[in-house]
Amino acid sequence: MDQHTLTEIYDRHCRELLVYIRGFVKSPEQAEDLLHDVFVRLIQYSQDHDIDSSRVRALLYRISHNLCVDFLRQNSRSRTTSLDQVTAPDTSPSVESNIDRDELFRNIGELVSTRDHLSRSVFYMRTELEMTYAEIALNLGISERTAKRKMRAILHFLSGELEKTGFSGFNAIFLSLL
Amino acid sequence: MKKHLTKRQILEMADPGLSSRGNRSALESHVSSCMECSDRIDSVRGLLSPRYRDTVMPSPELRERVIASYRSSSAEKTHSRGRALFPWTLPFPARPVAAAATLALFLAAGLFFYNMITPAQDPISLTMKSVSGGVSCGKIPMKPMSMIPAGSDVSVQDSSWCEIAHGSSVSVKIFGKSSLLVEHASRESRAGSVYLRFRLYSGTLISSVKHDPVPVEYSYITPAAIINSAGTVLLITAHPNSTRVLVLEGSCKLNSTRTGEEVRTSAGYLYRIEEGISERPATSDDLRMYRSLIARTRVRAGALLHKEDRPVPGTADKPVKTGSSGLKNDTDSSREALRERRELLKSRREIRESGKEIRRAGQDLKRTRH
């Protein structure tokens, strides 16, 4: 792979990859570092193998997924997120109307981070990158059925947990934001 | 549709990609009239809205970092080509050649070490310790103290027996109408271990092997079974279609030659190998058979020695005892045999006595506990 091909691949996929990685890591700097590592891995891989341009996207997502999982494993030793840490919002009528979008997103992020890595990947690929389930299956090397099953499970979990922790009317916020 | 939507239907309505069936129009008509279901679908849709998509943008420095990494990696690759040590670090065309060379190197080293580690085995000969009746090796009648090298075929006629031995550790008593081939007999030059392999075509034998003074590994191959053992007393009876193995001491490994079934034996059990391997505890009849065979060797030896007033040395038809070159030697041997028998009976008596004492001590202990 020459430099021109690399820059072309980078320009085409860097943003979507960063969005995907950002779903796993909290800080934007860490996400950029991981994205850099993804491309370093791609360069190393290209030294021994021919890069098929039709499959490079799936390859990049596979590398990104593995690096994110490694990163989370390393960090989970020092810090873990439990469901108890998800803060329930103040539901008094005066404050309820002021719950901002970031607060809700933060809670969703915390809840998603308690799920397995594959479910998280499926969730972020579907929500952030609006991939079809066929694309998700191809990028993660799983079946389309598994991707759908993971998505159903995580949506079911999120809606249940958010209702449990006090976000019974969280749909109203979205309706107002949409 | 009056009933509310199920959780699965709500998820499918919120995310059309999840729906697998084509009844969406019926669900939509319900949702349009049901506020509760509509709210629930909207709340799930809220979960699907993107969080970072519109805000995240990689910095321009990142692009420069990636390009710099590419350049440094290309430069490193150019330098490292000359010092590749392992096949997988080489570029593809050179890899099979390097892998083949490495494999050849490993094989050569393996062969060298194998030759170093594997000890040489010297062929040995067994000794015909006792002969009674018609025993021949090929067509040559056997005499006591004859050497039996590997490859010898020993035939024992009806109502005859003989004993093949190696030092004091191996004793194989072969009885009437038996045919045995000494297939392999060797000694490891370094540790002195003895390796023996016999092929019992038909007949009965009693094998008694001790590890003293050198370790012995041996196997018997019959038409129906392979018997591997080390340090065991066995009574083997081989027929063309079946083999019986009575294990009197120690244990051995039995393999059925037809089914490949494998069994680890225990002392005091009789194994019958036909299509498969069956086992049962040895009965008094089995033990009686063993005792009668053993007694036959002893009694015949003793009785024959008394008859040896006119010994005909060198004739296999007449029973001859070890070292029987004359009457005096035979009488000595007979006395020795009687002495051995007396010692055996004495030791049995002692064992019985000690058993009684142990039982008595156990009963006393029980009483004191109560």
Tell me what pLDDT residue A37 has. Answer: 92
Positions of CATH 1.10.1740 in chain A: 3-76
| Helix pair angle (A28-48, A3-22), 10° resolution | 140
pLDDT, one tens digit per residue, over A34-75 is 999 999 999 988 888 888 888 888 899 989 989 988 888 887
Instruction: Tell me how many residue pairs between chain A and chain B have CB atoms under 8 A apart.
Output: 114
Quick one: pLDDT at residue B134? 86
| Helix/strand/coil (H/E/C) assignment for every residue in chain B | CCCCCCHHHHHHHHCHHHCCCCCHHHHHHHHHHCHHHHHHHHHHHHHCCCCCCCCCCCCHHHHHHHHHHHHHHHHHHHHHHHHCCCHHHCCHHHHHHHHHHHHHHHHHHHHHHHHHHCCCEEECEEEEEEEECCEEECCEECCCCCEEECCCEEEECCCCEEEEEECCCEEEEEECCEEEEEEEEEEECCCCCEEEEEEEEEEEEEEEECCCCCCEEEEEECCCEEEEECCCEEEEEECCCCEEEEEEECCEEEEECCCCCEEECCCCEEEEECCCEEEEECCHHHHHHHHHHHHHHHHHHHHHHHHCCCCCCCCCCCCECCCCCCHHHHHHHHHHHHHHHHHHHHHHHHHHHHHHHHHHHHHHHHHHHC
Q: pLDDT per residue over A135-151, tens digit each?
A: 889 888 889 889 989 99
Q: Which residues of chain B neighbour A177 with C-beta distances below 8 Å? A: 49
Residue B78: alpha-carbon gap to chain centroid: 54
Give A59's contacts (C-beta < 8 A, 6+ positions apart). A42, A45, A51
Q: Is the pLDDT of residue A161 over 60?
A: yes
> Which range (A24-28, B75-79, B173-177) has the least confidence?
B75-79
**Average pLDDT of chain B to the nearest whole number:** 78
Six-digit token pair at A16?
A: 């979507």
pLDDT band with cut points at 50, 70 and 90 for residue B328: very low
- A50 Cβ under 8 Å from any chain B Cβ: no
CB contact under 8 A, B53 and A7: no
Identify the bridge partners of residue A13 per DSSP, sorted by sequence position: none
Q: Residue A72 has what pLDDT?
A: 83
Residues from chain A contacting residue B57 (CB–CB below 8 Å)? 15, 18
Inform me whether the C-beta atom of residue B16 falls under 8 Å from chain A C-beta atoms: no
Average pLDDT for B318-344: 62
**C-alpha–C-alpha distance, residues B41 and A82, integer Å:** 27
Nearest CA in chain A to B49: A127
Which pLDDT belongs to residue A174?
52
How near does any CA of chain B get to the CA of A158, in Å? 8
Nearest to A167 by CA among B46, B186, B21: B46
User: Is residue A163 very low, low, confident or very high in pLDDT (cuts 50, 70, 90)?
Assistant: confident
Query: What band does A167 get if pLDDT is binned at 50, 70 and 90?
Result: low
Per-residue pLDDT, B183: 87
Would you say residue B301 has pLDDT above 50? no
Q: What are phi and psi of B243, to 5 degrees?
A: -140, 135
Mean pLDDT, to the nearest integer, of B83-97? 62
Check residue A38 and give its pLDDT: 92
Over pLDDT 70: what percentage of chain B? 80
B94: which 2 tokens?
Answer: 């050179």
Predicted pLDDT of residue B305: 41
Range picked from A14-23, B3-12, B80-89, B229-238 for highest mean pLDDT: A14-23
pLDDT beyond 80 at B80:
no
Comparing B41 with A76, the larger pLDDT belongs to B41
Comparing B259 with A103, the larger pLDDT belongs to B259
SS3 labels along A123-154: HHHHHCCCCCHHHHHHHHCCCHHHHHHHHHHH
Whether A123 and A151 have beta carbons less than 8 Å apart is answered as: yes
Q: Is the per-residue pLDDT at B325 higher than 50?
A: no
Integer CA distances (angstroms), A163 to A62, A170, B102, B347, in order: 33, 8, 64, 88
CA B282, CA B368: separation in Å to the nearest integer? 37
What pLDDT was estimated at residue B314?
42
What proportion of chain B, given as a percentage, has pLDDT over 90?
2
- Residues of chain A in contact with residue B44, where contact means CB-CB under 8 angstroms, are 155, 159
So what's the pLDDT on residue A36?
A: 92
Residue B178's nearest CA partner among B144, B137, B143, B219 is B137
**Cα–Cα distance between A171 and A177 in angstroms, integer?**
10
For B172, phi and psi rounded to 5 degrees?
A: -120, 110
pLDDT of res. B332: 66
Q: For each of the domains in chain B, give its residue range(s) and CATH number, in order of start.
A: 7-47 (no CATH), 60-117 (no CATH), 124-286 (2.60.120.1440)
Contact status of A45 with chain B (Cβ, < 8 Å): no
Cis peptide before B319 (omega within 30 of 0): no
In angstroms, rounded to a whole number, what is the distance separating the alpha carbons of residues B302 and B299?
A: 5
Q: Is the pLDDT reported for residue B302 higher than 80?
A: no
Query: Which pLDDT does position B133 carry in this prediction?
Result: 85
Q: pLDDT tens across B101-129, in order?
A: 888 888 888 877 776 666 667 888 888 88
**Confidence (pLDDT) at B110:** 82
In the predicted structure, residue B272 carries a pLDDT above the cut 80: yes
* Rounded mean pLDDT, B142-160: 85
Q: Which fold has domain A3-76?
A: Rna Polymerase Sigma Factor; Chain: A (1.10.1740)
Residue given tokens 């109560």 in the structure block: B370
User: Has the ipTM of the complex gone over 0.85?
Assistant: no
Give, in order, the Cα–Cα distances in Å from B368 to each of B360, B361, B363, B364: 12, 11, 9, 6
Task: Give the residue from chain B lying closest to A50, CA to CA.
Answer: B92
CA B299 – CA B307 distance, rounded (Å): 12
Question: Out of A101-110, B220-229, B261-270, which region has the weakest mean confidence (pLDDT)?
Answer: A101-110
Name the fold adopted by A83-170: Arc Repressor Mutant, subunit A (1.10.10)
Phi-psi region of B133 (alpha: psi -120 to 50; beta: other; left: phi over 0): left
Question: Which residue of B lies nearest to A34 if distances are taken between CA atoms?
Answer: B62
Q: Residues 6 or more apart from A85 whose CB is under 8 A from it? A: A110
Parallel, antiparallel, or unpaired: how do β-strands B194-209 and B216-221 relate? Answer: parallel
Out of A52-66, B71-85, B227-241, B275-289, pick the least confident.
B71-85
| B280 Cβ contact partners less than 8 Å away, ≥ 6 residues apart | B269, B270
Choosing among B11, B31, B40, B52, which should be mutated to test the A contact, i.e. which has the most A CBs within 10 A?
Answer: B52
Q: Does B17 touch chain A (CB under 8 A)?
A: yes
**Chain B contact for A166 (CB, 8 A cutoff):** no
